[in-house]
Structure 1
Amino acid sequence: MYNKFAKAVSIAILLFTIPNSVLAFDVDGLFKNLIKYSYPEVKVIQKDEEDTDNNDTINENNTTTDDNEEATNNQFVNVYVGKENIPTANTEDSNGVILDSNVYSSNLRVTNNKPQVLIYHSHSCETYSDSPKGNYHSEDKEHSVMSVGCLLTNNLSNLGWGVVHSTTFHDSPTYNNSYSKSSQTIKSVMNQYSDVNITIDLHRDGLNIANETTKNKIHNKYTATINGEKVAKFFFVVGARNDDVAKVQNLANELTKYAKQKYPDLIMPVVVKPYGRFNQSICDNALLVEVGSNGTTTEEAQASAKYLAEILDGYFKEQNLKNN
């Protein structure tokens, strides 16, 4: 390994000493090959090989539209971030939300070497009402569904689950193909971590907000007070077009029933989308959950993460899905 590394560094130094006019070949491609052949255990993802079908669209009245799920998954960056890098759930200034490269390597955080849960975001740009960007769709991670996914990862990890959390933007710069792009993430992670048997596509609902009156009505509809704390409600979505719709709907119904027994004001009814697939046939236990809406605040959505984790933990332990 040392000899390979030394060779790669030597070639890199040589290249940087050559005048730019001499470099008439693809330097980026050369460095990718250097990485690939020096460290064959690392697969370098090629951005230009992503699926380019234009079948996925976005509408604020129906935020979870579907597209062609067929996508290649033969390339994946193999990373592992151990337990020592799990953010503390009560970090003073960030409420436990740490989304930078100190924790996420190549947009992935893995909390142990046999994770069972994948958390990802097909619509990663969905932001909450207090995002400074103001349009409810941006790469403002700290005010987006990604921050809720980070806290859900913290809480599930603290309950003993191994979790993979992906912060890949599947819907930027365009929403086209966001579900086929996220299917690449699912398949790649499951190919890398064979113990993953629960996938959670975490969204927030989106509605037309014409004015402050409408915004207040939406806010009231999508929030509840639990243990004296204002939190965002959540609900599960089922895509009726997927091959395993009966299984997916049963899982969503059972989780909703379980949640209602614990926190009846927190869970909203299951929503079935007749046109959707939402990648719910890839994994045995596939969930799409909407946490709050564009009328709720980031803090309210983040506050739901511990309750959602408690519900998922309790239900799946009852189903004996957690490894001892």
Structure 2
Amino acid sequence: MYNKFAKVISIAILLFTIPSTTLGLDKNGLFKNLIKYSYPEVKVIEKDEQNTDKSDQSNKEDTTTNNNKATNNQFVNVYVGEDNIPVAKTTNSNGITLDSSVYNSKLRVTNNKPQILIYHSHSCETYSDSPKGNYHSEDKDHSVMSVGCLLTNQLSNLGWGVVHSTTFHDSPTYNNSYARSAETIKSVMNQYNDVNITIDLHRDGLNIANQATKNNIHNKYTTTINGEKVAKFFFVVGARNDDVEKVQKLADGLTEYAKKKYPDLIMPVVLKPYGRFNQSISDNAILVEVGSNGTTTAEAQASAKYIAQVIDGYFKEQNIKNN
């Protein structure tokens, strides 16, 4: 079946390179008829049917009989139109995608002696352009994972060895997310003995009741640096942590350093009285919130280079240097 469809596409591409005035035919119509003739098991949907097909999908699933479902499952939907020309997937991760082969067993390691682990206790936290599941879904490209991927790149460019974990700790269940991420931390630190900085990267979550609220949240959590709109960030401390004083000192130190470099980008440290957040496992445990569910993925990703500079500069001042 694949070879047959490939031949159809090849013929279609050839025909599309011939001016429509030469053939006296509409290209979309020609492509549609070609598919129908050569590949009858494909269901061709006209451009003006596309929205109807999508909007009625849930209703159809409720009312369609089992026989009709079996019939519909025989088809592959093909939309014909200029706006449906396939495009290559782009990435803002310097050529690294979250599903690429460099993530071996859900881990990416940038050198043989990494010192930093980046992970996500709430891996499903997404930004404003991915609202599914109340901004919680496995949409990696619009989640905190994509920001972690970029932060990994930026820190690596500054000479740090980094491990980035793309394990989902809050899916399929949100409960015990921190217990599962603790296992990831311990596993990585057992394998890579030089890791002494752990970064749990989140995004803040607020109740978005309407568009006005969303706009207010967006304005609160963004700023402009060098003409670019970027998401603000801040550090969180768990007060029930056994090493709370050490964790608080680290968060305060990073915040003060960030204020000197990018005063409009950093927000105050947040102390959570009920939290531990695995901040006793490593010597330098960081929980950072990058933007919120009111900021876009691109704005959060744009912060990665500045967060990397803050982490790099602060730890070098503390005489904790990269390899």
Q: Is TM more than 0.5 here?
A: yes
2: CA distance, partners of 1:259 / 1:298: 21
Structural mapping, 1:183-198, within 5 Å: 183-198=182-197
Which of 96-105 and 299-308 deviates more? Answer: 96-105
1: CA distance, partners of 2:112 / 2:320: 17
Would you say 1:120 and 2:119 are equivalent positions?
A: yes
Structural mapping, 1:165-314, within 5 Å: 165-314=164-313
Letter in 2 for 1:221: K
Would you say 1:110 and 2:109 are equivalent positions?
A: yes
Gapped regions of structure 1 (runs ≥ 5): 1-91
How far does the alpha carbon of each residue in 1:139-158 deviate from its partner, in whole angstroms, 9 at most, with x for none? 00000000000000000000
Structural mapping, 1:143-158, within 5 Å: 143-158=142-157
2: CA distance, partners of 1:182 / 1:157: 23
TM-score if structure 1 supplies the norm length?
Answer: 0.71
1: CA distance, partners of 2:224 / 2:100: 34
2: CA distance, partners of 1:94 / 1:175: 28
Q: 1:195 to 1:156 in 2, by over 3 A?
A: same
Letter in 2 for 1:210: A
Letter in 2 for 1:245: V
How far does the alpha carbon of each residue in 1:169-222 deviate from its partner, in whole angstroms, 9 at most, with x for none? 000011111000000000000000000000000000000000000000000000
Letter in 2 for 1:180: A
SS at match of 2:132: coil
2: CA distance, partners of 1:240 / 1:135: 28
How far does the alpha carbon of each residue in 1:204-243 deviate from its partner, in whole angstroms, 9 at most, with x for none? 0000000000000000000000111000000000000011
Letter in 2 for 1:235: F
Would you say 1:140 and 2:146 are equivalent positions?
A: no
Report the Cα offset of residue 261 of structure 1.
0.3
Would you say 1:95 and 2:92 are equivalent positions?
A: yes
Instruction: Report runs of 4+ in structure 1 exceeding 2 Å deviation.
Output: 132-135
TM-score if structure 2 supplies the norm length?
Answer: 0.71
Structural mapping, 1:312-323, within 5 Å: 312-323=311-322
Which of 145-154 and 310-319 deviates more? Answer: 310-319
Report the Cα offset of residue 134 of structure 1.
6.2
Q: Percent identity?
A: 85
SS at match of 2:91: coil
Larger Rg: 2
Tell me what 1:57 maps to.
none
Instruction: Verify the 8 A CA contact 2:159 2:322 in the aligned structure 1.
Output: no
1: CA distance, partners of 2:178 / 2:189: 16
Letter in 2 for 1:175: Y
2: CA distance, partners of 1:95 / 1:275: 36
2: CA distance, partners of 1:311 / 1:99: 24
1: CA distance, partners of 2:234 / 2:178: 19
SS at match of 1:316: helix
1: CA distance, partners of 2:309 / 2:261: 10
1: CA distance, partners of 2:100 / 2:134: 26
Report the Cα offset of residue 102 of structure 1.
1.5
Report the Cα offset of residue 162 of structure 1.
0.1
2: CA distance, partners of 1:188 / 1:236: 24
SS at match of 1:135: helix
Instruction: Verify the 8 A CA contact 2:222 2:232 in the aligned structure 1.
Output: yes
Report the Cα offset of residue 133 of structure 1.
2.9
2: CA distance, partners of 1:285 / 1:266: 22
Report the Cα offset of residue 94 of structure 1.
0.7
Which of 92-101 and 216-225 deviates more? Answer: 92-101
Instruction: Verify the 8 A CA contact 2:161 2:322 in the aligned structure 1.
Output: no
1: CA distance, partners of 2:322 / 2:147: 25
Letter in 1 for 2:90: D
Letter in 2 for 1:94: T
How far does the alpha carbon of each residue in 1:248-270 deviate from its partner, in whole angstroms, 9 at most, with x for none? 00000010000000000000000
